[in-house]
Amino acid sequence: NMGTPKRLPFIEFKKIYSRVPRLNVELVVLTPKGVLLTLRSIEPYMGEWHVPGGAVLFRETIKNAITRVAREELGIKIFIKKYQGYIEYESHKKRGYFGHSVGLAFLCGIKSGKIRLNHEASRVGIFRKIPKNTLFDQKKFLLNFLKD
pLDDT tens for residues 102-128? 999 999 999 999 999 999 999 999 999
> Torsions phi, psi of 100, nearest 5?
-140, 105
Measured CA to CA in angstroms, residue 63 lies from 29, 57, 66, 108 at distances of: 15, 12, 5, 12
Are 27 and 78 a contacting pair, CB within 8 Å?
yes
pLDDT tens for residues 22-81? 999 999 999 999 999 999 999 889 999 999 999 999 999 999 999 999 999 999 999 999
| DSSP of 114-130 | -----TTEEEEEEESS-
pLDDT tens for residues 125-148? 999 999 999 999 999 999 998 775
d(CA 89, CA 102): 6
DSSP one-letter code for 72: I
